[in-house]
Chain A
């Protein structure tokens, strides 16, 4: 089954404790992206990757890191999480980002709470 998977789905952590949220897709998609969704603010793009080893900042990259060492995986790293990073996170992929008219497939989301 074609899908985007995220792990963990739920995470409660403490300020400053490094964490990684994994994202994996099995559709051989070139483009992958991370979003956060907050009440009243909607979905905001954190980072995106047009292909392996190519990553770019979205609108809210501060406090996050990403890497794209292989096509299927696009982990989101929070080196020192803070409470303002409490949010619902979505990973997405698309066949190509060169001309982004293709559908993005979203993962099920990761609900992160930082205390």
Chain B
């Protein structure tokens, strides 16, 4: 069965906090990994692609551990505008076009 599992959340954090989201995937043949952000009732938007070497974009850092089939997203110095649902996305192994979304983790950043 193809699955992508995320922390259930919600995460309620103060401004300036560091928060980490975790995601595990079940198919070892998966090759493409992403974090998307979705604001309430809006369409998802790409936050970061996740590469084997890990990657950083400003306050956001994504890591991939293929051996453990684990992806993480770290947000440093949280802003109020970071409040959203974060979706882990993985392609189904053997099929680049078949994408599996996690159920998402809701983040609420408070003043």
User: Measuring CB to CB, which residues of chain A are less than 8 angstroms from any residue of chain B?
Assistant: 31, 33, 35, 40-45, 48-50, 56, 58-59, 90, 97-101, 103-104, 106-109
Establish whether residues B87 and A43, one from each chain, have CB atoms under 8 Å apart when the complex forms: yes
B interface, size bucket: 20 to 34
| Assembled-state Cα–Cα distance A74/B31 (Å) | 25
Given A41-B103, A59-B2, A100-B91: A106 and B98 interface contact (C-beta under 8 Å): no
| Assembled-state Cα–Cα distance A107/B43 (Å) | 7
| Assembled-state Cα–Cα distance A58/B32 (Å) | 16
Which residues of B (40-74) have their CB < 8 Å from a CB of A? Answer: 41-46, 49
| Assembled-state Cα–Cα distance A33/B91 (Å) | 13
- Chain B residues in 8 Å Cβ range of A41: 103
In the complex, whether B97 has a CB less than 8 A from a CB of chain A is yes
Looking at A41, A42, A98, A109, the one whose CB has the most chain B CB atoms below 10 A away is A42
Establish whether residues A108 and B102, one from each chain, have CB atoms under 8 Å apart when the complex forms: no
- Number of residue pairs A-B, CB distance < 8 angstroms: 62
8 contacts between A and B (CB under 8 A): A33-B97, A49-B97, A56-B95, A58-B99, A97-B97, A100-B91, A103-B46, A106-B43
Establish whether residues A45 and B46, one from each chain, have CB atoms under 8 Å apart when the complex forms: no
Establish whether residues A48 and B101, one from each chain, have CB atoms under 8 Å apart when the complex forms: no
Given A97-B96, A98-B96, A106-B45: 14 more A-B contacts, CB < 8 Å: A33-B99, A41-B103, A42-B101, A43-B101, A44-B101, A49-B97, A56-B98, A58-B99, A100-B96, A100-B99, A103-B49, A107-B43, A108-B42, A108-B43
Which residues of B (92-110) have their CB < 8 Å from a CB of A? Answer: 95-104
Establish whether residues B104 and A42, one from each chain, have CB atoms under 8 Å apart when the complex forms: yes
Establish whether residues A104 and B101, one from each chain, have CB atoms under 8 Å apart when the complex forms: no
Choose one: B96, B98, B104; the contact of A59 (CB below 8 Å): B98
Establish whether residues B98 and A58, one from each chain, have CB atoms under 8 Å apart when the complex forms: yes
Closest to A102 in B: B49
